[in-house]
Structure formats: structure tokens, C-alpha cells
Amino acid sequence: MCGREFGNGENCPVFCPKLTRVNDFERGARRRAPTADPRDPGGMAEPERTPDGHFVVIGGRRWRAADPEIPEEAATRLRGLLMRARRDVGAARRNQDAEAERDARSRVHLAKVGLGERGTPWWEQDSGERRRRWRQGLEKLCGESARDHDGAGNNPAGKSSPDDKNNQGPGA
């Protein structure tokens, strides 16, 4: 008898090694990421960074940080594409579709390279190389011109946006 108490005050009648703590997986609950703020159920706290800013530390392990020079709009788009590709990896694995899994993993890699988390470290590249890297990532992943995400909020010449009510398009 292990002596564990059940919720109703009775002790466990089965002989088993005494457990000091039942982890979340044994209870069937999903574990939170180690950086989650328990007071903010919907958000994540900023991860700890190394003093040079090149890495984030999560669960005691260093991971390469995303390039801070990427414009916010482009970084948000790349992170969204990364998350979509990760979901697609899971779906392909559940469906046992090796070809779809390879394609999804390739997109995960492209997004991480675009963010600067893989490939040549971003701190070893000049500004032009860094800009080329994230723009190529966006172009390869979604075929859109990365100039749409240059952080300036300007559309390239000849492109109209649905948000531009007064824009009649080229030749108007």
C-alpha cells in the first residue's frame, strides 16, 4: 500500500511505489511551456536571452534567437508560416503521409532560415545579406514579394492594395 490519499479521503489499497508528484502527462493535461506566465493564461513571457542577444534560453537550453533586424510585419508573417508548417508536419505524421511530411519539414526549415534561426548566424551577416535572407524566405514560402513587408508600409510601384480606396491602379 502506497498510502496515497484519494480525493475522498481514502487511502490507495494497491501496493505501489509512493509517488511524490503526479506529472501533468499522467493526468492527461498538456504541460505549459516553461516561459509561460501563470498569471497570464493566454500569453507568453519573453524568454531569457544570453547577454550578447544571440540566443534565447528555454528550459535551460540555448536556442538561436530570431534576427532582431527583420521588420515586425515580415517577422510576424514568417512566424505564422513556421507555425502553419509545424502543424502540417503533425497532420502528415498522423496521416502517415511521408511526402507531405517532407514538404512540411522543408517549409519549417525555410521559415527558420528566413528568421535567422538556422543557416549562417545573423550576427555574422551584414545588413544586405540579412535583408536578402528574410526576403528570400518569404518569397520561397508564399511567393509574395518581400517588399510588401519591408517595414516602410509602402507598396512597390504599380501594385495596388485593397486598403487603398483612392488607388485606381496603374494607368488610371
Q: How far apart are CA 117 and CA 132, in angstroms?
A: 15
Same domain flag for 52 and 101: no
Residues 92, 111, single domain; the answer is yes
DSSP helix/strand/coil, 148: helix
**Residue 22 and residue 5 share a domain:** yes
Report how many domains make up the chain: 2
For the chain, 172 residues long, give each residue's pLDDT as a single digit of tens.
Answer: 455 565 556 665 554 444 444 444 444 444 445 555 555 555 668 889 999 999 999 999 999 999 999 999 999 999 999 999 999 999 999 999 999 999 999 999 999 999 999 999 999 999 999 999 999 999 999 875 555 555 544 444 334 443 443 444 444 3
146 and 72 in a common domain = yes
Q: Are residues 4 and 44 in the same domain?
A: yes
Residue 48, SS3 per DSSP: strand
Q: What is the pTM of this model?
A: 0.61
Same-domain check for residues 74 and 19: no
Which domain, by its residues, includes 6?
1-65
Q: Is residue 45 part of a domain?
A: yes
Instruction: Report d(CA 161, CA 150) in Å as an integer.
Output: 15
Instruction: Indicate if 5 and 74 belong to the same structural domain.
Output: no
pLDDT digits (tens, 9 = 90+) for 81-131: 999 999 999 999 999 999 999 999 999 999 999 999 999 999 999 999 999
Q: Cβ neighbours of residue 92 under 8 Å, at least 6 residues apart? A: 98, 100, 101, 103, 104
